[in-house]
Amino acid sequence: MEVEMKIRGLMTDPVTKIPIVVLKDSTGDTVLPIWVGPAEASAIALEIEKVATPRPMTHDLIKNVLTGLDAHVHKVVVTELRDDTFYAVIWLENHGSVISIDSRPSDALALALRVDCPIFVDEEVLKNSKRASNAADNMSGEDLRKYLEGLNDDDLGKYKM
């Protein structure tokens, strides 16, 4: 089963300084942090802040190609958490055929923002993420999870690189 989630913001991991995309479910009870690269975080931030670039960036190019091919993105799904790595799938339709495309979650999320499609996370990913967090010996990881779960809309301001 899949849980619909929204991007609630971007932040920087206070320990590693790596960007984090914060996903929250519609009820606000479940939070999923996904660590991403700086380039992907920038692509997501540009779209969140509706910054127009003079030339198409990679995810804008993908959107333009899909539009040119008359393909429609139905949804993106974070499907798996394996060895501390998240996996995602982009589901699209082209001339009646439904196609699934393997993707990094960061790229799937950046595209989802551009095409305004829903974002889902498999329930098993949410369970495994919580288990991994609870099993971690590093207290800073648990502290970070508590911090993320306590965030409100005012805490998730504009992302700064």
pLDDT tens digits for range 128-139? 887 655 444 343
Q: Is the pLDDT of residue 161 over 60?
A: no
- The CATH class given to the 2-149 domain equals alpha beta
Using the structure block, give the residue that is written with the tokens 């098993």: 124
Rounded to whole angstroms, the Cα distance separating 115 from 141 reads 33
Token pair in block for residue 151: 């965030």
- Sign of torsion over alpha carbons 19, 114, 52, 104: positive
Q: Where are the domains of the chain?
A: 2-149
Q: Reduced to 3 states, what is the DSSP secondary structure of residue 157?
A: coil
Tell me the pTM.
Answer: 0.82
Rounded to whole angstroms, the Cα distance separating 78 from 17 reads 23
Q: What are phi and psi of 26, to 5 degrees?
A: -65, -25
pLDDT tens digits for range 79-120? 999 998 999 999 999 999 999 999 999 999 999 999 999 999
